[in-house]
Structure 1
């Protein structure tokens, strides 16, 4: 099945880690896994999870203003607490918390009302399920204590295949509910490192998902059946093969942790975003709502700040692909769908000129995106097959964007760049 075209065109998504962990503001699921919080104290958060101000339409409005085209909600994290009234197990917010209602259905409806694609996160693992710690990974990774953690692996190392079969039936049943009830455009899986692909029965799970909705996009944590890569918390130096998405938090935490005030500035988020789309990826920006369902003001302000910048530069964002390879321009760039307009992102105010190296295609016109100001340009040098340097006049101070100025180079033909070493 080819990748759904909406994904690469989306550019920006919002990643919502919402669950009982927001009650005490502790790390989602990991708090008890690592022993930082006793398990019983972690689970007592069920009693304080109210979703009393849960308004997914307000979420959708905020995401649309941010410029996002999709969102991903943690339908069930590693702690096993489902945000919908699943028929498979009773650990869910409908039956076990004061919220007392399905939180997934109104989220799905609100996103679709705003024309946003619907993503649901689901963890393969469930550290609360009685049948989960029943088998041993044949080649466990060195990180996260997979081989020794009692929530993952039987203490005595003795496997129970019947228990594992029950667990897979539970997981398959819940994933089936998500597909049948909500028909998500994207399923974002996690927890895959704790078992092998064969143990997870990944191929069989993918077949069931796609039989229910053939257009479902699957992330790389569906292993061989994944459609796109999901690097986290840092831009890759080399562009991943195929479609990809950078998962990045607004502060340092996925879920709501009120003590975490290390929020990235709007300028930082603009840079992350521009670098990501300039490398052909999407940015999935992580937000952690409070237990009542409201998005913290510090995060909402940064989302709207990013959205204002995107709105001013929409032509350089949507309907584009990765631009110049590294080394041609000091900053990211994107290319219009017809290959005739090159967008250069300048994070610092240009002084005197902006230079582009190795550009074979003649430039007809240069303008500042957002203001329309036209800039002069000249090509200097060049010999035989090696093109000269295109020097573009620096924009006037009034045309400089506070976060990133974008220049549109209208080309006289398809983009063609020189990648050689020059004459010996």
Structure 2
């Protein structure tokens, strides 16, 4: 059984947390240090010394992870991933490797430990993000203003001695993260574009990780390795062939960016969750807490919208599998056993049609969250009726306006068989005479 089938794919919905010293200043995560990047249009351009000086005065609140994880659990999320160390090199745990992190600037504070404990209290699986680059480490080498503008694929290479030192640093920090905090369900790498797989020693890292945590999942950003794909900031038109997870921001920034008020609507975010689940993927939705560790109000409001919707409709997301083909229903669909969930992302102006399903095995149609059965009609090919073929047909459902959800109504079609695996049964022609 693939590792992802244990918990990852049924989870469907998780929380991404980008938090670091940048939040105190209201900057995007890490990228202002190198002058910004095209993919983050509202990021700043901050001189290297100014950027790193900000970290010296940041005192992260150890109580912050409880706020994040409690909100995630209430919103129906099943796992969470924290940026333990982003590209800027600041470590959120008291690492013995390197001198840039809470071990020096906030003695006694361990945000990773608090995050892990909060996840366990609320029953969420634990993920740790770790950046392969470190733009502060002396052997990497560190980024300086003289290196501007940042160009992908052209970061200065370390010396041979520096590379060996940096590889030992990576292995040391990863060993701490996967040894000191009990079972960790996934490690989420990033930044591999800056070095070759050989320079990262990806095979050695993968072997180390599997030795320390045999059941852990590794994302596909450790080159040539990984248990799941990670499309970023979009839903792929066709799902990847294996397990996958879309990571998505609520606005245009990963970190707490004080100038970014370009938020997606709650309906857009909930619809994205429906679409991702309908394609058999997971949604890893990001928050960027402020410098004090609080969830910014626009992000908290959107999590509250998820809570309301998931309390009624979470059954159609959590534990589901990909649903019907696009031609069968105008919207995402998910499956769970003999239950087909049809997600109405637009308010219907006519009866809703579900095509290519075993209509003679349909037991009931209802709206998720309501017990009343809805009336429906079925349509089948005329010859199937004449020849008494137990085949596929179309279901027509009128959705009462009073029962419609303002964001996304979910119809439940209950069958006495698996509607995705049903094979039409033709009559025995020899015995018809």
Normalising by structure 1, we get a TM-score of: 0.90
Structure 1 residue 46: Cα displacement: 1.0
- 1:265 aligned partner: 265
2:344 aligned with 1:346, yes or no? yes
SS in 2 for 1:375: coil
- Structure 1 segment 78-227 matched on structure 2, within 5 A: 78-97=87-106, 101-133=109-141, 145-148=151-154, 152-154=155-157, 160-182=159-181, 183-227=183-227
- 1-side partners of 2:153 and 2:120: how far apart? 42
C-alpha change, 1:417 and 1:360, in structure 2 (3 Å) is farther
- The number of equivalent residue pairs is 401
CA offsets per residue over residues 266-302 of structure 1, 9 Å max, x none?
Answer: 1111100000001011100000001111111111110
C-alpha change, 1:411 and 1:418, in structure 2 (3 Å) is closer
- 2-side partners of 1:94 and 1:300: how far apart? 30
- 1:296 aligned partner: 296
- 2-side partners of 1:416 and 1:176: how far apart? 44
SS in 2 for 1:225: coil
CA offsets per residue over residues 102-145 of structure 1, 9 Å max, x none?
Answer: 111011111101111111100011111111149xxxxxxxx961
- 1-side partners of 2:46 and 2:235: how far apart? 31
C-alpha change, 1:122 and 1:416, in structure 2 (3 Å) is closer
Structure 1 residue 54: Cα displacement: 3.5
2:361 aligned with 1:355, yes or no? no
CA contact (8 A) 1:357 1:390 kept: yes
Give the gaps of 5 or more residues in structure 2. Answer: 37-44, 143-148, 424-433
C-alpha change, 1:205 and 1:377, in structure 2 (3 Å) is same
CA contact (8 A) 1:379 1:388 kept: no
Q: CA RMSD in A?
A: 2.2
2:46 aligned with 1:37, yes or no? yes
Match of 2:68 among 59, 62, 86: 59
Give the gaps of 5 or more residues in structure 1. Answer: 135-142, 420-424
CA contact (8 A) 2:324 2:420 kept: no
- 2:364 aligned partner: 365
Structure 1 residue 416: Cα displacement: 4.1
- 1:26 aligned partner: 27
- 2-side partners of 1:130 and 1:72: how far apart? 27
C-alpha change, 1:416 and 1:297, in structure 2 (3 Å) is closer
- 2-side partners of 1:100 and 1:47: how far apart? 15
Normalising by structure 2, we get a TM-score of: 0.88
C-alpha change, 1:51 and 1:345, in structure 2 (3 Å) is same
CA offsets per residue over residues 159-203 of structure 1, 9 Å max, x none?
Answer: 622210110000110000000012321101001111222221111
